[in-house]
A and B are shown apart, each in its own frame.
Chain A
């Protein structure tokens, strides 16, 4: 493939992400990875549910009084919105509008970083309350589940940034279109996991 091949919106393929064999392979392979990730997070959720509110006898922390919903609500809105902005980015990718795509990706990254910042603030808050990682089985399960999600957010952000910087000068082609498509998929998946985290961990936690 010629990397210097210039596309116009007229010649840009309908499905640039699967226009090449490599693209097709990456597309299927990445979805398979998401299936594996589904099981990964299920194991974490299952463990969290089994260990919820479990700790040394006389433990003073329980999900019902620990979590604060306003912060979680803000985080949820931010992450949901970032999912929409990455949809916008992909819309412009399909229209071969590189600048608009980069702009929307930038918005997505900023929202993602805000989310991550709030999560770090939240964790820090709990640790200061005395609810550290080694405090109890409950704390370990909570931090590992939510922290693994946070690590995914961090990885997704790095991936977005690396792609944006690497391709800033050369624009869209069928070599990098699959990469942009996959990171957007990854971002949606992170959002899917968060939907379950705010439902199962926070909302169901608060109602006891």
Chain B
């Protein structure tokens, strides 16, 4: 339960290395963001272009899935170390989410 953390003072070289790493990561984040905007644009354009719903629906769902992966793995760092349990529970949550949605779009008669 201890709050205390051991303070580690970085050397100048170490410090600059860490800063560079972070700046690099931030550039990657910008790339992810650009991709998200791009994917969103495609999704809206496909709908505006008025293709057949049978073509559009799978495409925009796929685009949404890619965006979510970008958010989870880049913005939310789920690919980083120490996220094993987190990933397990997120995927379990998605599994339950999936069967819930599947059930309510297939087996509620009306």
| Nearest CB in chain A to that of B12: its residue | A10
| Chain A interface extent, by class | 35 or more
In the complex, which of the residues B86, B92, B94 has the most CB atoms of chain A within 10 Å of its own CB atom?
Answer: B86
Shortest distance from the beta carbon of B97 to any chain A beta carbon, whole Å: 3
Are B104 and A199 interface neighbours, CB within 8 A? no
Q: Does A69 contact B (CB under 8 A)?
A: yes
Partner of B29 from A13, A46, A87, A199 at Cβ < 8 Å: A87
B contacts with A, residue count (CB < 8 A): 57
Q: What residues of chain A lie closer than 8 Å to B40, measured between beta carbons?
A: 73, 76-77, 80, 198
- Whether B64 lies near A196 (C-beta < 8 A) is yes
Bound-state Cα–Cα, A76 to B60, Å:
14
Q: Which single residue of chain B is at the shortest CB-CB distance from A186? A: B76
In this assembly, does A45 line the interface, its C-beta being within 8 Å of a C-beta of chain B?
A: yes
Interface 1/0 per residue, B8-35 and A, CB below 8 Å: 1110000100110010011001100100
* Chain B min CB distance to A183 (Å): 12
Contact residues, B47-95 vs A (CB, 8 A): 47-48, 53, 56-57, 60-61, 63-64, 67-68, 71-72, 75-76, 82-83, 85-86, 89-90, 92-94
Which of B5, B22, B29, B101 meets A84, CB within 8 Å? Answer: B29
Cα-based distance from A88 to B71 in the complex (angstroms): 14
Residue of B3, B75, B92, B103 touching A22 (CB-CB under 8 A): B3
A46 vs B98: C-alpha distance when bound (angstroms)? 9
CA A191 to CA B94, docked complex, whole Å = 16
**Contact (Cβ within 8 A) A91 B90:** no
Say whether A110 faces chain B, with CB atoms less than 8 Å apart: no
Contact residues in A for B4 (Cβ distance below 8 Å):
1, 20
A207-B53 contact given A32-B89, A80-B36, CB 8 Å threshold:
yes
A195: chain B residues within 8 A (beta carbon): 64, 67-68, 71
Which A residue sits closest to B7, measured CB to CB? A11
Give Cα distance in the complex from A20 to B7, angstroms: 12
Chain B residues with CB under 8 Å of chain A are: 1-5, 7-10, 15, 18-19, 22, 25-26, 29-30, 33, 36-37, 40, 43-44, 47-48, 53, 56-57, 60-61, 63-64, 67-68, 71-72, 75-76, 82-83, 85-86, 89-90, 92-94, 96-98, 100-101, 103-105, 108, 110
Q: Given known contacts A38-B94, A69-B47, A91-B26, what 5 new A-B pairs fall within 8 Å (CB)?
A: A13-B8, A32-B89, A35-B92, A46-B105, A192-B72
> Can you give 13 contacting A-B residue pairs, CB < 8 Å?
A10-B15, A20-B5, A21-B1, A22-B3, A38-B93, A39-B97, A39-B100, A76-B44, A91-B22, A195-B71, A199-B60, A203-B56, A204-B57
Closest 9 CB pairs of A and B: A1-B3, A42-B97, A35-B93, A46-B104, A38-B93, A199-B64, A31-B86, A35-B89, A46-B101
